[in-house]
């Protein structure tokens, strides 16, 4: 048998372990999880507002937060709220990748955090690169140091955290 942290995402394990280590009950952890899910539902409005009008952003937030599946997920201590939060963070920070190295590093940190919540979220790194390169000459995109900063930071961050996880727990993340 493998330890439980080989099956759960590292963020989910952390979000369960820390409150319980400080004496929280399972009910308290579940209530905190529901509050995080509600916060993520509200963040949909904030992120959507960057790309659309306020009424459309409110409709997007309401549609997301009141969907049957999201309400179901918010009652269980699962990784979906943190994974949705990381996706929103990647979407919010992606436009800055080609503007500055600091913004590229912020988006890379969001992408690596996303990997800690769900194993398949780093696939969004490819979408971020394509979105940043789209509509620009290929030569400009290939020579853009900010874009390469993003790619390198994602790769180094994932390798570093994977190594740290193996050293700390003895198993690789998502070993199941």
Model's pTM, two decimal places?
0.81
Phi, psi of 131 (to 5 degrees): -65, -35
- pLDDT band for position 7 (cuts 50, 70, 90): low
End-to-end CA distance of the chain: 10
Contact 11, 82 (CB under 8 A): yes
Tens-digit pLDDT profile for residues 105-123: 999 999 999 988 888 888 8
The answer to whether 60 and 52 are in contact (CB under 8 A) is: yes
Q: Which residue has the tokens 């000459």?
A: 137
pLDDT single digits (tens) 29-83: 888 888 888 888 889 999 999 889 999 999 998 998 888 888 887 777 667 888 8
């Amino acid at each position: 048998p493998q330890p439980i942290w080989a099956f759960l995402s590292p963020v989910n394990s952390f979000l369960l372990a820390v409150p319980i280590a400080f004496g929280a009950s399972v009910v308290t952890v579940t209530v905190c999880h529901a509050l995080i899910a509600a916060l993520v539902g509200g963040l949909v409005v904030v992120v959507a507002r960057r790309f659309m009008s306020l009424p459309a952003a409110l409709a997007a937030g309401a549609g997301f937060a009141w969907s049957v599946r999201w309400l179901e997920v918010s009652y269980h201590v699962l990784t979906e709220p943190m994974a949705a939060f990381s996706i929103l963070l990647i979407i919010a920070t992606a436009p800055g990748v080609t503007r500055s190295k600091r913004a590229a590093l912020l988006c890379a940190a969001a992408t690596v955090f996303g990997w800690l919540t769900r194993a398949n979220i780093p696939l969004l790194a490819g979408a971020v690169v394509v979105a940043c390169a789209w509509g620009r000459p290929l030569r400009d995109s290939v020579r853009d140091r900010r874009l390469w900063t993003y790619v390198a930071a994602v790769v180094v961050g994932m390798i570093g955290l994977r190594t740290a996880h193996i050293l700390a727990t003895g198993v690789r993340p998502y070993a199941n």
